[in-house]
Amino acid sequence: MKVDYLVAEIGSTTTLVTAFNVKIKKDKSIFVEAAFQGKSCTTVLDGDVTIGLKNAVKDIENQVGEPITWGKMLATSSAAGGLKITVHGLMERMTVKAAKEAALGAGGIIKMVTSGKMRKSDIKMIHEINPNMIMIAGGTDYGERETSLYNAEIISKEKFNVPIVYCGNIENREEIKDIFKDQELYIIDNVYPSIDELNVEPARKVIQEAFERNIVKAPGMNKIKEMVDGSIIPTPGAVMESAKILYDMIGDLVVLDVGGATTDVHSVTEGSAVVLDMLVNPEPKAKRTVEGDIGVFINSKNIIDILNIRDLGNFKKEYISSHIKAIPTEGDEINASSILTKKALDVAINRHVGTIKRKYGGESGFIAYGKDLSQVKYIIGTGGALTRLPVGKEALLNIRYMRDDVTMLPRKGAEALLDKDYIMACAGVLSRENKEAAEALLRQSLMITKDMEEL
């Protein structure tokens, strides 16, 4: 059987491969057919990721009863430790925050953040982290110059042999080029060009390009180009790409992905004009947060520890602990995973969303910090827990704020959608090669109707 695309999602433990054809209807609209999914254990730790890729393809061949060939193979990856990034800027609430937003939105894992001039202990920590990338920010355009140049000098002397992304004051560009001469350097637009202005999209694009160039150097990933002849981007970055495409299709949204080790939240919304006027610091339109301590399998103990009587209902914590499985199949296992999934959502959304506080002192009123989700129309669930457990849609709806007063949470009118085919990461990387086909995949998996797109 011949298919147009194979798209692999290479996770830390599991590799999922989706095979499909792209067809054109008589009205010239695009749809996707013959979608099959195969899975296997990820084999990065065995020294060769292609073993798991081939096993996942073999799983598809067993389903269709014949060998398959394909036109192009793409991939997303969170294996080999994911995209580990350290970020170094000037002011924690300004340039550092902007650089963090760019790195997270591109699918990075932030392992270290510093503000101001770096110290010897900071350099020691970078060596211990052994990051895949280092970001240097600092200073608005034509503003403060010294800090980012100082940090660049001491980072350059260490010869970390990883990509360096400079996204600070544009006046420093020539000096930065000299400092990192003969090293892999990416100079891009300032992520914080002026006070209260974020500019994170150019950085996100370059981070993904640098990841694609360097992922082939990671242990176990060096043979990946033997099979993958198209784009390779971080899995969380691919989900963010899908979220941005969906925003253009159906409007303001938030996407939640509860995993075995982490829980990711991606939101694409400007927020309300009322809250915007209260905000102390700017927020990006597209924002990602990742809760590295909240997962329903590897990090399940962290969730169990914070379960309360309302979360547990008629169950006990010991019951939950004794029925945790990576892939739950029986009633007790499903019950335990469902309880953990609901709590993971609650924790993750409350860490992602901002807060509104009353002003005290001379001027009455309110101020707001963080991301406003009050205009979200769709709450979307992706990943294994939300798309495969029976409580997925109910759990998504439970995060809404049901009262009428001012809030930054999604409101009671928001609807829940499930990525039933588990293809948001797949569609995200596909969008770099064929955006119309990616849109078709998303429509089919989330069951998006024309009426929803017209709203």
pLDDT tens digits for range 2-28: 999 999 999 877 899 999 998 887 776
101 falls in which pLDDT band (50, 70, 90)?
A: very high
Residue 62 above 60 pLDDT? Answer: yes
CATH architecture of 2-80+218-226: 2-Layer Sandwich (3.30)
Mean pLDDT of 387-410: 91
Q: Which residues pair with residue 258 across a beta bridge?
A: 263
Residue 48 above 60 pLDDT? Answer: yes
pLDDT of residue 320: 93
Q: Which residue has the tokens 């503000």?
A: 115
Give residue limits of the domains in the chain: 2-80+218-226, 83-217, 249-422
pLDDT in tens, 168-196: 999 999 999 999 999 999 999 999 999 88
d(CA 178, CA 64): 56
d(CA 37, CA 394): 26
Give Cβ neighbours of residue 239 (< 8 Å, ≥ 6 apart): 107, 255, 257, 264, 266, 382, 424, 425, 428
Fold observed for domain 83-217:
Rossmann fold (3.40.50)
Fold observed for domain 249-422:
Nucleotidyltransferase; domain 5 (3.30.420)
CATH topology identical between 2-80+218-226 and 249-422: yes
